[in-house]
Amino acid sequence: MKGRHVVVTGGRGALGQGVVTVLEARGAIVHVTPPELRFDDEANVAAYFASVPPLWASIQLVGGFAMSPILETSLAELEQQWRINTVTCFLACREAVRALRRSGGGRIVNVGSRAAVTGSPNMSAYVASKAGVSALTQSLAAEVLGDGILVNAVLPSIIDTPANRAAMPRADHAGWPKPAEIGEVIAFLASPQNTLTSGALVPVYGRA
């Protein structure tokens, strides 16, 4: 990854910091998106990617989580999860493809969720939005393979972050995947060493 330019959306969060640390250790030049950038705004996303030097990879970590029983979930809450997870990923992927075509190819890595493939109670809005990320990843992978762009997603279980530990203080935190561990998987998928894998939804569950 030495000297290669990589965009990381959401790189200031707990997972993002782990991913950025791994990428920088491999020599990547990491562009962490500014916190004021709205990734559900077409013009903002397009302008940001147009400003980045010739791109090698884009890693989409921006997203959000909410849970409630289906009868207590409003349409507005569903739409909010869709915008923060599916729409942000779609716009970043679209503009990443535009930039990567100019560069002659590269890598895209998205972040889905184990819950979106296994199901989980009281998470219908979140699961639907993350299922959109998974479907987008696989469809886009087929579309841009001929451009030399490989597109994959990782599917975390619950990640070992301070916020998650505070929310579940009695859980077995040792079994949860660490941000840096997930970062190692993402770094491989985003690297030149990955020459074959595209369209994959890679489990990063740990023992959670």
Catalytically active residues, by annotation: 126
For residue 70, the one-letter residue type is I
CA 118, 120, 124 angle in degrees (round to 5)? 110
Whether the Cβ atoms of residue 96 and residue 108 lie closer than 8 Å to each other: yes
Report the distance separating Cα 168 and Cα 170, nearest Å: 6
For residue 200, the one-letter residue type is A
Q: How far is CA 54 from CA 25, 100, 155, in A?
A: 20, 8, 28
